Amino acid sequence: MKRIANVTAVAALCAMTLSGPLAFGATDKPDKIVVTAFGGVWAESVKKNYASCFEKKTGVKVEVVTGESAEWLNKIRANPDHSPIDVVTLSELDSLRAGREGLLSKMTTSEVPNLAQVPAQFHVPWGDLGVSSTYGPMGIMYNSEKISDPPKSWKDLIDGIAAGKYGKKVAWPSGTYAWGPPFIWFIAQQYGGDVNVAFDKLKAMKPYVVKFWETPVDALNLFATKQVDILAYWDGRSYAFINKGNPWAKFYIPEPNGMTSLVLFSKVKSAPPIAWEYINCVLSPEAQVGNAEMIRYPGTNKTVAYPADLKKDFTPFERVVVPPYDQIIEKIPSWVERWNKEMR
């Protein structure tokens, strides 16, 4: 009896779920588009700033899906003709991969007028298949009660750590973190560009690093519980921490600049053309300011003017460097393997 009931239940479930709407016609207005966002405050900002802008302009509903870049990339790969996602936010590397696999649509200023306001470094390296809405460099966050003379440059920091200047109270991104390999490239840049030097420096730092972190939350946990006095960390997240009642923590971008992370918005090839309007909303001045206020990362639209209290935390374009992902991407398998083998 139990078994018959189960079979009926499963059959009913089949009928219900398979009869749901799966794809929209290319020419009619769809009843909704599906967009991605990272969880928590990011998703809130997306709903408040981007989704409402799009819904007002087009009358089409926006469904926000939270998760991570790798997951979304795989979902699109598995369903190229009926992608479950219309506008996707991929990491720099995943965006390159998706582009090379022909999964994304190229954008021009006719579909996305606001693209003209975005500096080239935030979309041209991806062949205009994706554009970043924000940028956020990695800098140094430190405990000002323990460290009174923070290092001026990245080189000073790295050499200082390796010399034991801060004791065993350092945290650093792992080479196997999503932005680990680009950060290895960045370290190499401080010493003339040789990746072998970067690995040597990392090995020298190792005795003083409590944890090479794989997820930012892990790093913040170490810093907040005072197990670590100084760490390389993202600016938006650092300011979020500092502004939540932790004035003992300070953040800055050392010389010469900071490596940035980008969030690349792309329209998936099988998505309806109306989805372009969403990307245009994302790059619009109002949405850029609204988003910056919520997640505290500056936007890429160069015409936007931010209120003074926000502006003081933002790093100007000139102090930010975008790693050459199209060159790094081939090297990643070997760098990750080197990390696993040499850093244990």
Partner 1 sequence: MARKDRPIGAIARAGYARAAGLIPMMLFLVVFFIGPLLVNFSQSFAGPGTMFREYRRIFTDGYYLLVIFQTVLLGCAVTIGCLVLGYPLGMAIARASGRLKAALMFAVVAPLLVNVVVRSFGWMVILGNQGVVNWIGSALGLAPLELMYTWWGITIALVHVLLPFMALSIASVLEGIDPRLEEAAKVLGANAFNALRLVLLPLSFEGIVTGSILVFTATVGSFVTIMLLGNASTMVLPLLIYQQLTVVSDWAFAAAMGTTLLVLVATLLWVQARFMRPGWRQARTV
Partner 2 sequence: MAAGAHGVSRGLLAYSIGIVVFLAAPIVIVVGVAFTSADFVSFPPTGVSLRWFKRVISDPEFLGPLWNSAKLGVTSTFVSLALAVPAALALVRHRFRLGAAIQAFMLSPLSLPTIILAVGLLFFVARIGLAGTFLALVAGHAVITVPYVLRTVLAVYSGVNREVEEAATVLGAGPFRAFWHITLPLIMPGVLAGAIFSFLLSFDEVPVALLLSAPDTTTLPVSILSYLVYNYDPAVAAVSALQVAVIFVLLLVLERTFGLQRVMFTSSNK
Query: Which residues sit at the interface with partner 1, rule CB under 8 A?
Result: 70, 73, 93-94, 97, 174, 176-178, 180-181, 211-212, 214-215, 217-218, 221, 225, 227, 332-333, 336, 339-341, 343-344
Which of residues 69 and 95 has its CB atom nearest to partner 2 in the complex?
A: 69
Give me the amino acid identity at 56.
K
22 φ, ψ (degrees, to nearest 5) = -110, -45
Chosen residue from 29, 40, 194, 203 binding partner 2 by CB under 8 A: 40
Chosen residue from 24, 30, 33, 34 binding partner 2 by CB under 8 A: 34
- Spatial neighbors of 258 by CB under 8 A, at least 6 apart, are 137, 138, 139, 235, 315, 319, 320, 321
Q: Determine what percent of the chain falls in helix, strand and coil, rounding each to the nearest 5.
A: 45, 20, 35
145 sits near partner 2 (criterion: CB under 8 A)? no
Question: First-to-last CA distance in the chain?
Answer: 56
Alpha-carbon gap, residue 205 to 194, rounded angstroms: 17
120 sits near partner 2 (criterion: CB under 8 A)? no
User: What is each CA distance from 320 to 46, 136, 220, 258, 340, in whole angstroms?
Assistant: 24, 8, 22, 5, 29
Alpha-carbon gap, residue 267 to 58, rounded angstroms: 16
Q: Which does 312 bind (CB under 5 to 8 A by kind): partner 2, partner 1, none?
A: none
- To partner 1, the closest distance from the beta carbon of 223 in angstroms equals 13
Contacts (CB under 8 A) with partner 2, residues 245-274 = 245-246
3-state secondary structure of 97: helix
Alpha-carbon gap, residue 4 to 77, rounded angstroms: 37
Q: Which does 244 bind (CB under 5 to 8 A by kind): partner 1, partner 2, none?
A: partner 2
Chosen residue from 13, 116, 124, 163 binding partner 2 by CB under 8 A: 13
Find the angle CA(294)-CA(213)-CA(134) to the nearest 5 degrees: 30
- Spatial neighbors of 290 by CB under 8 A, at least 6 apart, are 45, 48, 49
293 sits near partner 2 (criterion: CB under 8 A)? no
Q: Which does 120 bind (CB under 5 to 8 A by kind): partner 1, partner 2, none?
A: none
25 sits near partner 2 (criterion: CB under 8 A)? no
- To partner 1, the closest distance from the beta carbon of 205 in angstroms equals 13
Give me the amino acid identity at 253.
I
Alpha-carbon gap, residue 222 to 210, rounded angstroms: 9
Stretch that binds partner 2, among 60-68, 169-177, 191-199, 280-288 (CB under 8 A): 60-68
Q: Which does 174 bind (CB under 5 to 8 A by kind): partner 1, partner 2, none?
A: partner 1
- To partner 2, the closest distance from the beta carbon of 19 in angstroms equals 10
Q: Which does 31 bind (CB under 5 to 8 A by kind): partner 2, partner 1, none?
A: none
73 touches 130 (CB < 8 A): no
Binding site for partner 2 (CB under 8 A): 1-3, 6-7, 9-10, 13-14, 16-18, 34, 38-43, 63-68, 71, 74-75, 77-79, 82, 84, 215-217, 220-221, 224-225, 237, 241, 244-246
